[in-house]
Amino acid sequence: MPESRVELHGVRREFRGGAGVHGVDLAIAPGEIHALVGLNGAGKTTLMRLMLGMLRPDAGEVRIDGVRIDDLAPAAWAKVGQLVESALAYGELDVRDNLRLAARLHGVARAEASAMADASIEELDLVRYARVRARRLSLGNRQRVGLAAGLQHDPTLIVLDEPTNALDPAGVIVLREAVVRRARAGAGVLVSSHHLDEVARVADRISVMNDGRLIGTLDPGTIDLERAFFSLVRTDDEARNAA
């Protein structure tokens, strides 16, 4: 097994005006659930997009299972599962066809794609909606379809940006179980969230991002995680303002 599912070394991407990601080092081990927390605009999505090759860094490098992402073969990309941009769903196709298509896009053979979609529909509790066109789904169910599409092919690296968005409490539990199951099977998981309680429940490690940098980690067992989070952010803001 490789040491890290994904590694970032000195990754930097600056947007006009100075916002972005300003030199991040990060590694996620097989079996690890790593949470990324930070205020709005901290750079979490940007970091995930850089990690997945959706955005090119100005400097630094990203490696997945030890291979620079520029050199990563399509079969290796197929072992990545993500929900970072809007949930993949073709409005005119029903849930099952959307998931079959997503499986095919991850390199799954036609013969296996239907069974995979059906299993995923069960897992995300979408059975009632299997034949419903995606455009008719509620926001939360569309999110479930997006998550199903990102998880069904049992990726070894999973990157989820605020995956609990729009999910009801039952959906949050279903997602938690799906993610933990895959981590136990060896996947490395990076998940961003604004829900510190939920993060504390699943994460092995919590990294705090502020103004484009990783400024520290929080122990998921900390009693008052919220206070610890704000304390880290405030200290960082004060240090930068003083500089």
Ligand X SMILES: Nc1ncnc2c1ncn2[C@@H]1O[C@H](COP(=O)(O)OP(=O)(O)OP(=O)(O)O)[C@@H](O)[C@H]1O
The residues binding ligand X (CB under 6 A) are 15, 19-20, 38, 40-46
**C-alpha span between 129 and 118 (Å, rounded):** 11
| CB of residue 36 to ligand X, shortest distance in Å | 8
**C-alpha span between 146 and 98 (Å, rounded):** 9
DSSP, collapsed to helix, strand or coil, labels residue 185 as coil
Is-contact 47 209, C-beta < 8 A?
A: yes
Q: Which is nearer to ligand X, 56 or 131 (CB)?
A: 56
| CB of residue 79 to ligand X, shortest distance in Å | 24
| CB of residue 20 to ligand X, shortest distance in Å | 5
| CB of residue 208 to ligand X, shortest distance in Å | 11
Q: Which is nearer to ligand X, 114 or 165 (CB)?
A: 165
Q: Which is nearer to ligand X, 9 or 213 (CB)?
A: 213
DSSP, collapsed to helix, strand or coil, labels residue 64 as strand
Q: Which is nearer to ligand X, 34 or 106 (CB)?
A: 34
Our CA dihedral for 108, 111, 112, 115, rounded to 10 degrees, sits at 140
- One-letter amino acid of 41: G
Q: Residue 207: CB partners within 8 Å, gap ≥ 6? A: 26, 34, 35, 36, 37, 214, 216, 217
| CB of residue 46 to ligand X, shortest distance in Å | 3
Q: Which is nearer to ligand X, 44 or 63 (CB)?
A: 44
Q: Which is nearer to ligand X, 41 or 107 (CB)?
A: 41
| CB of residue 21 to ligand X, shortest distance in Å | 7
Cα distance between the two ends of the chain: 43
Which stretch of DSSP H or E encloses residue 216? strand 213-218
Place of tokens 């896009």: 105
**Distances 148 to 18, 81, 100, 143, 174 between C-alpha atoms, Å:** 35, 10, 11, 8, 11
